[in-house]
Structure formats: structure tokens, C-alpha cells
Homo-oligomer: A and B are copies of this chain.
Amino acid sequence: MLKILRINTRTREYTFEDLGAYAGLGGRALTSRIVSQEVPAGIHPLSAANKLVLAGGILACTNAANSGRTSVGAKSPLTGGIKESNSGGQFAHKLPKLGLLAIVLEDKPEDGADFTTLLIKKDKVEFLDAKNLVGKLNYAAHDVLKAAYGDKVVTALVGPAGEQCLMTANIQFSDPDGRPSRSAGRGGLGAVMGSKKVKAIVLDPEAKDSVEPADGEKFKTARKRWLDILMGHPVTSQGLPTYGTAILINIINEAGALPTKNFRSGRFDGASKISGETMTETIKARKGAYKHGCHTGCVIQCSQVYNDKNGEYLTTGFEYETIWGFGANLLVDDLDDIAVMDRTCDEIGMDTIEMANTMAMAMEAGLVKWGDGKGVIELLKKVGTKDPLGRILGNGTDFTAKAFGVDRVPVVKNQALPAYDPRAVKGIGVTYCTTTQGADHTAGYAVCQNILKVGGDVNTLGKAGQVEISKNLQVATAAVDSLGLCLFVAFAVLDTADAVSVIADMVSGLTGKPYTADDVVALGVNCLKDELAFNKAAGFTAEHDQLPAFFRNEPLPPHNTVWDFTAEEMQAAKIA
């Protein structure tokens, strides 16, 4: 049986605990249960009472396709609510090799304490002096750890942003190529790790535990069917592998929903220059890789290796969100500039969505001109330095807006909006508003039915059906995040009648106990209930489930639609 490793970052005591009441949970369901049960909702997110939970999903101990996502949970410094931030990388699949389902960082060292590196071994934790890493950018820090522990070492790092406890700080996880390229991006969880004075978590490369499915035959059959489902759907087998998520640039631009110039238009003149098609051509010409997995066992391969003009590695995990945010939303149409911004965020350890919106605030404030990619790169590099401007920018969109008196601030629950304008994709707007996470597209990706026509079809400009779509997706997503599956499996799952049963069969095969499609749904529902309870106790009400007023007052070209849901109307998207 897997265990939970609890580490007191002040006393340096640690325990390997049986799952106890947490048995049956994993991923987001586990992080959200632990946070909602053990972290008082009213505490300061950087105080000793907060806990940082890093967990693999229920299927992380298996070789099921795309089951290696890592969930990180805590009270969010950015939103003030509960947070589950989800990442690729090798962490989740490595935890079971240490006999672990999750690691919980508790308490915090005294003021002025030095940063530490936690070396997690089987049955042992070593607290190492992190002087050799402090102040380093993530790639350099990971190189130091590779030199010490081998190229296959699995790490979780905070960059300079996390060291400074800034609200855009993410946690970077190492990928299959030995790069710290995968981000638990949203909600500032790197600040929580930084507040606990943990610079790096290193999982012992020597650990080799394995978990055998209790019903090996059942698991094997289900696992095979699962692979067929993923490989049988055009989005997961062709679209995403070929163009990555950036395939969406042209699609969403065509739909008139690509937020441009801080959400002033749904179309960007420069879209074709930053599209997935252009990216793939560029990658091919520079001998990068346009198919690439973020963790071992990924068959969707939406990632890529993007080289610079000289054919040298520049970045990976170069996502639609990042390309939109630093591109269309800032009127930047140079894909290489955007790639440098992506890499810069990975290096300093910052959420790209939050930083892209932050840069829009900097443009509104006149700190840098619209479209000036080089200027944006210079601003990004200030974060994590001693420059106070870096402290402002590194604290995100609303913070930067407040610093400079900007009143057009695209945030919900203080978290910046992703790459779909809610006036032109109403369903995703319902998710932005009503998810426990603050504005978050992954929490209930209604773009499926609204634009991609996967799993349903709805008028993207209208209100009809959107609340129900968002609600169902929010439940399904919570389940997917708890199983440890990649969200993109949803494209295939939504279009395949037996998919949820097959997932249930994998769990049943693993545990040897009955598990049905209903149990999968219950997993998601109960996770959302935990999160909603925490947020309620933290003071969130229906009034917080709203977009900023400008979405209501400013029609969005080209469709000239406005956001027209009341907060009340959307409450049905939340689990009662």
C-alpha cells in the first residue's frame, strides 16, 4: 500500500503514514481533501498553517496511458481559495517507486531560515543545504541536481519567483528529457513552497518499488482498451500530436474568441504567424520535435521541442495558452519572442497565463508598448531580482493593475483569464466564474462543445445549455484530475460510449475491488464538494462568481456579444 509522507519543514520531522481515511483518493481528490480537512480556510496562505500537498493520481502507480499527471494543492496565495494545480513531468510516476502516493509539506521554518533541498528516499528524508541552488534559474538548478543524482533525477523546483514567495510563482517539474519544463502553474503554489523554505524536492533515482494490480488480467484488458480509445480519436491521435495545443490559435481566432489586446477583440491580425501550423513548420525546419510527451506513458504527445533560429534548444511545453497570452493578447506576432518568454517563465518559475495577463497590465500602464516582444522579455526578467518592479509584476495581474491604477483587469477570484473570451465562448465563461479555482479553462473545458463540437454541440454565443455543460465538465475534470489522467483524454472520452467504464475497470483491476462509472462520477463530485466547502469557509459567495464588469459592458468584435449571465444564473453549475 502506498503511503503519505508528511514533512515538517520547521522541526524536520517526517512520517510515512498509511492512507487511513484518505484511502481511495488520489491526485486532486486527495490534495483537495487534505487541504479542506487540515488547513483552516481563514489562514494566511504563506503562514505555517498552510500545507503543500504533491500527489500522484489513483492510476499513477500503473502504466495506463497518460496517467502521470501530478496534482499540487494548498490554499492559494493568489486566489485565497483552495487550489489544485496540475502538471506533467515525471514526478507522479516516480512517487510510487518510493512507495508514496503523496508528499505533504507542513509548518514553516523560522524567519530568516535558509532554503533546503529535500532528498526523498525510500523510508527516509534528507534535508540538504540548498545554498548551491538558491538564486539559480530552474534549468541551472536542475543541472546541478543532475550532476549530483544523475540525468534521470526527478525534481520539483521553485525558481527565484518562488523563493520570493510571489503570487505567480509555480512549481516546475522535470520532464522525460531531464529538463525542468513542466509547470504546476496556476495559483502561486510556488510561493507556498518558497514560504516553507524548500527550494527543491528530489526523488531518489534509485527507488524502484512497483505496485502490482490486484486483478492483473482485468487491468491489462482495460488498459489496452483505454489505449485504443485514445489512439482512435482524431484529436488525441492526430490533431494534438501534430500541432500541439497551438492548433487552437487559428480555430479560436476564426471563432472570434481569441482574446486580443487585453480582451478588446476576438480576432488577432497576426494569428497566422503564431499558429500551431506555423509552429510545426518552424520546428520541422529547425529540426526540433513536434511530437513530444510531457511524461513517460503519454501517447497524445501534444508537447514539442522548439529550437531557436540556430537550431539550439529553446523551450518545450510551448502551449496554446502561452502563445495566446504573450502573443495575441499583447499584439506580439513573433513566435520566437514568445518562445523566449515561455522559457523565461519556466526559468524564473512563473505561471505563463498569469504573467501574460500581467504584461497586458504593464502595457495598459504604459510600461511597455503593445506588440513590443523584446520589451516584454526585459520586464519578465525583472521578476525574482532585487528590482521592486519585479516584485510587482511577479505578483500577477490584479496586483500589477493596482500598482499602476489600471481598471480593466481580466481576473476572477484574482486569477487571470485564459485564452478564450467568455463573451464568444459562453460555456467557458461559466467555468471561469463558477469553478473553485478562479478563472481556469481546464476546470471545465466547455470549448469542447462550444467550438470543437466534441461531446456535444451548443451555440457558443448563447446562454442555452452552457450551465449544464460546464457543470458536467467540472465534475468529469475533477475525476480526471484525481485519477491522474491528462485532461486531454477528455476529447476521446466524451466521444466514446464505454470510456468511463473502461477507466473504472482500470481502477477496479488495480485495486481488486468493484469500481463503476458511477464511482468515477462520485470521485469528481466529492472532490468539488470538498473544494466548495473550503472556499465557502474562506468567504467566497456567489458574488465572487462573476466576470469583471467590462465583459458585460463592452461588446466583443467580431460578434459584438457581451457577457450576460448573472452570478445567480450560474449557481446551478456548482455541485449543491
Q: Which residues of B contact A407 (CB under 8 A)?
A: 44-47, 195
The complex places the Cα of A349 from the Cα of B387 at a distance, in Å, of: 25
Min Cβ gap A434→B in Å is: 14
By DSSP majority rule, is chain A's interface helix, strand, loop, or mixed? loop
A375 contacts partner chain B, Cβ-Cβ < 8 Å: no
Among residues 508 to 565 in chain A, which have CB atoms less than 8 Å away from a CB atom of chain B? 536-541, 543-544, 546, 548-550
Closest B residue to A538 by beta carbon equals: B543
Give the chain B neighbours of A167 by CB distance below 8 A: 402
Interface string of A183-206 (1 = CB under 8 A from B): 000000001001100000000000
Is the Cβ of B549 less than 8 Å from the Cβ of A49?
yes
The complex is assembled from copies of this chain, and their number is 2
Given contact pairs A164-B405, A405-B194, A541-B541, A546 touches B42 in the complex (Cβ within 8 A) = yes
Give the chain B neighbours of A399 by CB distance below 8 A.
399, 402-403
* Chain B residues, CB < 8 A from A392: 388, 391-392, 403
| 17 residue pairs from A and B, CB less than 8 Å apart | A40-B549, A42-B546, A44-B407, A47-B407, A47-B408, A47-B550, A164-B405, A165-B405, A387-B388, A388-B391, A388-B392, A388-B403, A395-B402, A395-B403, A399-B399, A399-B402, A538-B543
A195 to B408 CA separation, bound complex (whole angstroms)? 12
- The complex places the Cα of A550 from the Cα of B433 at a distance, in Å, of 31
Chain A interface residues toward B at CB < 8 A? 40-47, 49, 77, 164-167, 191, 194-195, 387-389, 391-392, 395, 399, 402-409, 536-541, 543-544, 546, 548-550
Q: In the bound complex, how far is the Cα of B403 from the Cα of A165, in angstroms?
A: 8
Look across to chain B and name the residue whose beta carbon is closest to the beta carbon of A364: B111
**CA separation between A403 and B46, bound complex, in Å?**
12
In the assembled complex, which residues on chain B have CB atoms less than 8 Å from the CB atom of A539? 539-541, 543-544
A545 vs chain B, min Cβ distance (A): 9
Residues of B within 8 A of A164 (CB): 404-405
Excluding A44-B408, A539-B543, 13 further A-B contacts by CB distance (< 8 Å) are: A40-B549, A42-B543, A46-B407, A47-B407, A47-B549, A47-B550, A164-B405, A195-B405, A388-B388, A392-B392, A392-B403, A395-B402, A539-B544
| Residue numbers in B under 8 Å from A40 (CB-CB) | 549
Q: Are B409 and A391 in contact (CB under 8 A)?
A: no
With both chains docked as a complex, state the minimum distance between the C-beta of A365 and any C-beta of chain B, in angstroms.
10
Which residue of B is nearest A44, CB measured?
A: B407
In the assembled complex, how far is the CB of residue A549 from the closest CB belonging to chain B, in whole angstroms? 5
The interface residues of chain B lying within 8 Å CB-to-CB of A544 are 539
Distance in Å: Cβ of A398 to nearest Cβ of chain B = 10
CB distance from A189 to the nearest CB of B (A): 14
**Complex interface: chain B residues within 8 A of A536 (CB):** 543
How far, in angstroms, from A337 to B255 measured CA to CA in the complex?
62
A403 CB contacts on chain B under 8 angstroms: 388, 391-392, 395, 399
User: CB-CB < 8 A to A195: which residues of B?
Assistant: 405, 407
- In the bound complex, how far is the Cα of B42 from the Cα of A409, in angstroms? 13
Distance of A546 from chain B, by nearest CB (Å): 6
Q: How far is the CB of A406 from chain B (nearest CB, A)?
A: 8
Neighbouring B residues of A543 by C-beta, 8 Å: 41-42, 536-539
| Cβ of A107 to closest chain B Cβ, rounded Å | 12
| Complexed CA–CA distance, A347 and B404 (Å) | 20
A389–B403 Cα distance when bound, in Å, is 10
Contact A548 B405 (CB under 8 A): no
What's the minimum C-beta distance from A392 to chain B, rounded to whole angstroms?
A: 6
A35 to chain B, nearest CB (A): 16
Q: Which residues of chain B are within 8 angstroms of A41 by Cβ–Cβ distance?
A: 543
Kindly list the 10 A-B residue pairs having the minimum CB-CB distance in the complex, ordered from nearest.
A165-B405, A539-B543, A388-B389, A46-B407, A388-B388, A391-B403, A47-B407, A44-B407, A539-B544, A43-B549
The answer for the CA separation of A40 and B407 in the assembled complex, in Å, is 15
| Complex Cα gap A409–B548 (Å) | 27
Query: Which among A77, A405, A549, A550 has the highest number of chain B CB atoms within 10 Å?
Result: A405
Please pick, from B49, B191, B404, B541, the residue contacting A405 in the complex, using a CB distance under 8 A: B191
A46, A49, A391, A399 pick with most chain B CB within 10 angstroms? A391
